[in-house]
């Protein structure tokens, strides 16, 4: 009997030891990772971008739906890299294939690579393809130091982030950080109102050298007007970004939005946004080493 009791006690003690070890292992502080963008002078980086949108609007018993799909190639041409690793680059769109369908109207399509005629409404898009749209200086943490919108960019100036801003120090998994910014909305009275928002980031995991970061947008200013809600709705997409830690660049991302606003134009009105934005890195073109050295020297002299 004593022998049996001793065996049970020893077995239970071993079980507790294993259980304790597993809890301790789970409580260990995750390894920290330093997130930084990396650039080389003369690099040409490309991403495939797809934007899909479905907007359903109901006002006074009439419902209309607008469906859009746009596929394009985003390009960053690195002009200079300074001593701290920050870069000056040109942002452009190399080509675009898009279509738009509105209720009661035929679908309109435009492909910059195959179409010689530009449909009405797509003129600004066609004129911008292949042209530098924005000149940007970015530091290694993703902070915008300079932004210049060229004459080819007819869109409304965007003062938000160009890419994810990273924390100053190495961070563990589940670490969160945020970037506050202000947006303006139009009022029915003709004025504007400033709204405080922030993007929230969370490092979900790091596997095989790729960091997965969850991104969401939060509206901080209390909103009680559906008309203002409708203008902010498009900014509230959320999703995951995959960042190659060694290469120092975003390799893919997907942002989704499914938002409904009731009463934006009277009690019987409604607005339903459903959008998806995806981006996938497709390659980088390097330049000869002598051109890199010349570009780097230019960056140092200006830094």
Segment 133-153, tens digit of pLDDT: 999 999 999 999 999 988 877
% of residues, the chain, pLDDT over 90 = 72
Which phi and psi (to 5°) does residue 209 adopt?
A: 80, 5
pLDDT for position 118: 95
Q: How big is the chain, counted in residues?
A: 303
The yes-or-no verdict on residue 225 having pLDDT over 60 is yes
d(CA 78, CA 94): 15
Q: Which two tokens stand for residue 284?
A: 């980088």
Region 239-264: what's the mean pLDDT?
A: 96
Average pLDDT across the chain, whole number: 86
Q: Are 145 and 137 in contact (CB under 8 A)?
A: yes
Mean pLDDT along residues 277-284: 96
Three-state secondary-structure class, residue 2: helix
pLDDT at 287 over 80: no
pLDDT above 80 for 22:
no
Task: Give dist(CA 257, CA 274) in Å, integer.
Answer: 5
Between strands 87-102 and 249-262, the pairing is: unpaired
What is the predicted pLDDT for the residue at 271?
95
In the predicted structure, residue 18 carries a pLDDT above the cut 70 = no
- What is the reported pLDDT for 106? 94
Q: pLDDT-derived band of residue 293, with 50, 70 and 90 as boundaries?
A: low
Domains and CATH numbers, the chain: 38-302 (2.30.230)
Q: Is 6 exposed, middle or buried (0-12, 13-18, 19+ CB in 10 A)?
A: exposed
Mean pLDDT of 231-248: 94
- Higher-scoring residue by pLDDT: 190, 201: 201
Has residue 302 got a pLDDT over 60?
no
The answer on pLDDT for 245 being more than 80 is: yes
Residue appearing with tokens 């928002």: 197
The predicted model gives 272-294 an average pLDDT of 80
Cβ 48 vs Cβ 63: under 8 Å: no
Asked whether residue 201 carries a pLDDT value surpassing 50, the answer given is: yes
Look at the block and give the residue holding tokens 């499914």: 258
Share of the chain above pLDDT 70, in %: 82
Mean pLDDT of all residues in 239-243: 98
Q: Where are the beta strands (DSSP E) in 190-247?
A: 192-207, 210-219, 238-244
Find all residues with CB under 8 Å of 56, minimum gap 6, and list them: 63, 64, 65, 270, 271, 272
Q: Give the model's pLDDT for residue 25.
A: 44
Q: Give me 272's structure tokens.
A: 């339903």
Choose the most confident range, by mean pLDDT, from 35-39, 223-227, 281-285, 294-298. Answer: 35-39
């Amino acid at each position: 009997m004593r022998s049996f009791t001793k065996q049970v006690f020893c077995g239970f003690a071993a079980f507790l030891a294993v259980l304790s070890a597993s809890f301790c292992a789970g409580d260990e502080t995750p390894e920290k990772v330093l997130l930084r963008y990396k650039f080389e002078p003369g690099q040409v980086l490309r991403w495939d971008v797809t934007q899909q949108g479905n907007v359903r609007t109901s006002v006074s018993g009439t419902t209309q739906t607008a469906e859009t799909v746009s596929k394009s190639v985003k390009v960053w041409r690195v002009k200079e890299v300074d001593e701290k690793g920050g870069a000056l680059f040109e942002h452009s769109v190399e080509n675009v294939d898009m279509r738009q369908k509105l209720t009661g109207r035929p679908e309109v399509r435009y492909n910059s690579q195959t179409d010689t005629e530009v449909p009405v409404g797509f003129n600004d898009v066609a004129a911008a393809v292949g042209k530098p749209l924005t000149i940007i200086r970015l530091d290694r943490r993703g902070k915008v130091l300079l932004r210049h919108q060229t004459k080819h960019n007819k869109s409304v100036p965007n003062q938000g982030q160009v890419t994810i801003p990273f924390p100053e120090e190495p961070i563990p998994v589940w670490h969160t950080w945020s970037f506050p910014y202000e947006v303006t909305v139009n009022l029915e009275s003709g004025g504007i109102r400033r709204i405080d928002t922030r993007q929230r980031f969370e490092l979900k995991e790091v596997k095989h050298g790729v960091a997965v970061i969850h991104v969401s947008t939060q509206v901080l200013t209390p909103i009680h007007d559906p008309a203002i809600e409708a203008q902010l709705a498009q900014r509230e997409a959320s999703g995951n970004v995959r960042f190659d830690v060694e290469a120092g660049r975003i390799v893919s991302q997907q942002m989704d939005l499914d938002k409904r606003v009731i009463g934006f134009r009277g009690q019987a009105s409604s607005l339903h946004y459903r959008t998806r934005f995806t981006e996938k890195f497709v390659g980088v073109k390097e330049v000869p080493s002598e051109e890199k050295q010349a570009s780097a020297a230019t960056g140092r002299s200006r830094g």
